[in-house]
Structure 1
């Protein structure tokens, strides 16, 4: 950005005074009191405003152009379900086993020196929503065993879980219980179940795991009685997080996050309106749950400060058009578009609404139950895009740019003339103004004092409404010294153009990527220099 600095001006004055004078030709004693008023011209601003500089748009807006360079405004939002790991939360599992030594067992141990006790149990795997699981792959989980033995003999306890496998190898734990000295033995173990598969089908039913226990006692020669002596096993599976799960996952309402279901549109920060020929709302629906969903669009409306809530009606599918994948890693998708031919979006969106709101619901395994799967990354999502091709007419929408500016307070400046060169390549006339502002953006003064000078004519167009030649205009604005004092504290120049399409609202024009308003500003300062 350009600025006028005191040192630069004084340097220019020095050049004017001394560049053509040799030292021995200049006699200071012969200089009479006199007054000079040389002019100095300096460029200030070179700014090009395009549709990308439009103000009053929300943070959810993107601006792009198609292959013809026609410009579009796009507003996006989405709702998304919880992911698969949050959808299927498995509670902690608790199970236990106990070996009590009977009198017969005691006799056999003393007579033979060894005793083996075995037990195989089916433990239920509980679910919180009635899910019927046949297998689960875990990304996280802990298998905890806590053992306590009061048997006064050495022993080895083996625990096998043939339905809990990693890389095809069943879970196995062998624990030595050295109680031959008569001291009770306690043991604890924690196994990380990341990467394990839980197969619930070996018993022929769902939600069941088998655990095999084998306790081998060796006579230590102790004569202590075995009455009320036992080995207690307490176990739990906790911190369970699925990677994949298979089975029937039930019929229930899916939790939908609606953080982005509120889409900010025109906030009309600087006023104006845009009326477009063919706005559209497109819905893209994706489902990577291996579960049929009955999804519905419960509401869709725009809010206008003038008209309040405006319901969007038309050819909205019910249920929404989305299927479900049949293999892991797949995503089923569907979409539909509302436009002026199948809905009232043209009427609703052309009232310059402040925002668009929608609500989606989904029920799993509806209308019929099937075999399901879910992955930790599975999601159901609805992406919505409000698309505005900039073909239509506009009244009072604003494009704006800001440049840096500095004008030093120099006593010798008695006046200045600002020259503004404008090229308008928009298919619209513009009301142009430049504002001097301080560092915080507070406006101190405006450039063009005559309202007639603010009007810039539209570019020349062909019969299709496309620009064929930019309009060129030039303005000069004179500032006397007292008016200059208003802008000595200015640090910015704000260039603002209010667009009004030619003949609007009677004709429709298109905004293309190469449309622009170019503004160049230079200043010519008139200096009053006094010598004695």
Structure 2
């Protein structure tokens, strides 16, 4: 009798050596000495699908867990509006033209200060220069040009003296310009009477700070876009509805006035259909980005768009979509306001998807290692034994397809996939009135493998592709919450009835 057990033990060792999972579950003492057709239970594969399996393979930047509540966070690139790039002073050239000068100071036609904002009261300069080139003079008098609206650190007007027929230049660092209705006034006088031609060049202006009315137009942040692909590891079918997705715009503003965001150029595009959805119906009705401090310090604020004030729910789906935005900013404070060159408004756009909603007919895919004995000649019957412990509030159907060493689906002679297990149903876990799971659903079952072609190909199968087709209850209509400790456990084994011819040793 000991010889029988030795033979069976050796057979089990061969089988278990070729299996990929834990062999400690099986005890040889359980084999009946008189068993001529032993039933061998062999583990084939085991999978645990948790929150990170479902959502960690998305393109979201983070799976955020707050207690047990789970959210997906999609982070766009930070975009920044820099006032040093917005407020620009173009070089000004006044072509050479005749002037008449006398010993008495006479007002000349003013110079237009050319900037992106026309209502500037004062500009403190860090760089720039004024150049005057004279020619065609009738005498060699010294001409004095006094610029009434360009002042030095002691608030004295800028004065340039030039000998008729020559050129003079003066730097404007540590000066300020106080435009008079957008112009720079100046006067002309000389040591004698005469005339000449004069050209003016106001160049290289750069600023430290500027004061004025900046509510004169819409500023545009740089255009940006990113892809929303909620489930990269889900087959391209089914649907998902997130109850309350949130678009969070976090602002860091050091610009010296409030800004009102304009969402007229925020939209999602479905590349498959070409459909475009606008984020909001009224792009001007949203909150305010708070002003930076008067000294240019940063003040943080946040604007949130959700299902109540936007079309953000239309942006979310299983198929990939691209969210593009070119947010406008409109000045919202009472002028005058002061800005600094290093002032900026930085916006970080995040989409937050709390995992609460409905799902219908989508498949979660997972690839699992598997192996089985290479010698199937003694097998008479082959049963698939399954154990599922469903901790998700989702009705689930489990299908397992065979894959080769290259992780390619194996196919039968007629081209269909080789299916080891086909749509084994596990009901959703029980939930309470708040859609929170109270008890997982456990199902054990046994399925006879009748497909001879699949059975014969098992030794070639190195992996199994598990497809978990999921729905919220009530045909995908019930709203449920996904929490961090939910888990779907699937165990698959084979029960083999062998046809072993044993001879008792005498």
TM range (shorter): 0.5 to 0.7
Residue 243 (structure 2) aligns with: 277
Residue 386 (structure 1) aligns with: 351
> Residue 413 and residue 401 in structure 1: after superposition, are their counterparts in 2 closer, same or farther (change >3 A)?
farther
1:91 Cα deviation (Å)? 11
1:404 aligns with 2:369: yes
> Residue 55 and residue 370 in structure 1: after superposition, are their counterparts in 2 closer, same or farther (change >3 A)?
closer
Verify the 8 A CA contact 2:370 2:464 in the aligned structure 1.
yes
Verify the 8 A CA contact 1:436 1:443 in the aligned structure 2.
yes
| Partner secondary structure for residue 410 of structure 1 | coil
Verify the 8 A CA contact 2:253 2:345 in the aligned structure 1.
yes
Q: How does 1:28-67 map to 2 (within 5 A)?
A: 38-54=38-54, 58-60=58-60, 62-67=62-67
Q: How does 1:62-141 map to 2 (within 5 A)?
A: 62-67=62-67, 69-81=68-80, 134=124, 136=126
Q: How does 1:318-333 map to 2 (within 5 A)?
A: 321-326=288-293, 330-333=297-300
1:419 Cα deviation (Å)? 1.6
Superimposed CA distance per residue, residues 69-125 of structure 1 (whole angstroms, 9 cap, x where no aligned partner): 233333332451265776689999xxxxxxxxxxxxxxxxxxxxxxxxxxxxxxxxx
Give, in whole Å, the separation in 2 of the partners of 1:200 and 1:440: 77
Give, in whole Å, the separation in 2 of the partners of 1:528 and 1:202: 109
| Partner secondary structure for residue 53 of structure 1 | helix
1:499 Cα deviation (Å)? 1.2
1:446 aligns with 2:419: yes
Larger Rg: 1
> Residue 498 and residue 8 in structure 1: after superposition, are their counterparts in 2 closer, same or farther (change >3 A)?
closer
Give, in whole Å, the separation in 2 of the partners of 1:428 and 1:500: 5
> Residue 59 and residue 90 in structure 1: after superposition, are their counterparts in 2 closer, same or farther (change >3 A)?
farther
Give, in whole Å, the separation in 2 of the partners of 1:39 and 1:330: 77
Give, in whole Å, the separation in 1 of the partners of 2:396 and 2:248: 33
Matching residue within 398, 418, 422 for 2:388: 422
Give, in whole Å, the separation in 1 of the partners of 2:152 and 2:369: 71
Residue 312 (structure 1) aligns with: 279
1:519 Cα deviation (Å)? 0.6
> Residue 487 and residue 91 in structure 1: after superposition, are their counterparts in 2 closer, same or farther (change >3 A)?
farther
Give, in whole Å, the separation in 1 of the partners of 2:350 and 2:433: 31
Superimposed CA distance per residue, residues 403-427 of structure 1 (whole angstroms, 9 cap, x where no aligned partner): 2223352254525433210011222
Give, in whole Å, the separation in 1 of the partners of 2:460 and 2:303: 56
1:508 aligns with 2:472: no
Q: How does 1:144-183 map to 2 (within 5 A)?
A: none
Residue 472 (structure 1) aligns with: 442
1:296 aligns with 2:289: no
Give, in whole Å, the separation in 2 of the partners of 1:271 and 1:5: 43
Superimposed CA distance per residue, residues 299-358 of structure 1 (whole angstroms, 9 cap, x where no aligned partner): 233345569222233565457612332266732233232333334445665797734333
Residue 460 (structure 2) aligns with: 489
* Stretch of structure 1 that moved more, 297-306 or 126-135: 126-135
> Residue 7 and residue 417 in structure 1: after superposition, are their counterparts in 2 closer, same or farther (change >3 A)?
closer
| Partner secondary structure for residue 337 of structure 2 | coil
Matching residue within 172, 176, 181 for 1:208: 172
> Residue 9 and residue 285 in structure 1: after superposition, are their counterparts in 2 closer, same or farther (change >3 A)?
closer
C-alpha root-mean-square deviation of aligned residues, in Å?
A: 4.8
Residue 518 (structure 1) aligns with: 489
Verify the 8 A CA contact 1:417 1:524 in the aligned structure 2.
yes
Residue 151 (structure 1) aligns with: none
1:455 Cα deviation (Å)? 1.7
Matching residue within 334, 350, 360 for 2:301: 334
> Residue 57 and residue 398 in structure 1: after superposition, are their counterparts in 2 closer, same or farther (change >3 A)?
farther
1:473 Cα deviation (Å)? 1.0
> Residue 82 and residue 409 in structure 1: after superposition, are their counterparts in 2 closer, same or farther (change >3 A)?
farther
1:440 Cα deviation (Å)? 3.5
Give, in whole Å, the separation in 1 of the partners of 2:337 and 2:72: 42
Verify the 8 A CA contact 2:268 2:324 in the aligned structure 1.
yes
1:494 Cα deviation (Å)? 2.2
Give, in whole Å, the separation in 2 of the partners of 1:484 and 1:264: 38
Q: How many pairs were matched up?
A: 382
Mind listing any 5+ residue stretches in structure 1 that lack a counterpart?
22-34, 93-125, 138-198, 211-239
Superimposed CA distance per residue, residues 350-409 of structure 1 (whole angstroms, 9 cap, x where no aligned partner): 79773433321346898845332133xx54233333333333322123333322223352
> Residue 434 and residue 287 in structure 1: after superposition, are their counterparts in 2 closer, same or farther (change >3 A)?
same
Give, in whole Å, the separation in 2 of the partners of 1:75 and 1:10: 43
Mind listing any 5+ residue stretches in structure 2 that lack a counterpart?
1-11, 92-112, 128-150, 159-170, 175-203, 411-417
Residue 401 (structure 2) aligns with: 435
Verify the 8 A CA contact 1:265 1:356 in the aligned structure 2.
no
Verify the 8 A CA contact 1:413 1:525 in the aligned structure 2.
no
* Stretch of structure 1 that moved more, 434-443 or 251-260: 251-260
Give, in whole Å, the separation in 2 of the partners of 1:209 and 1:384: 38
Verify the 8 A CA contact 2:258 2:291 in the aligned structure 1.
yes
> Residue 135 and residue 507 in structure 1: after superposition, are their counterparts in 2 closer, same or farther (change >3 A)?
same
| Partner secondary structure for residue 223 of structure 2 | strand
The normalised TM-score by structure 1 is: 0.58
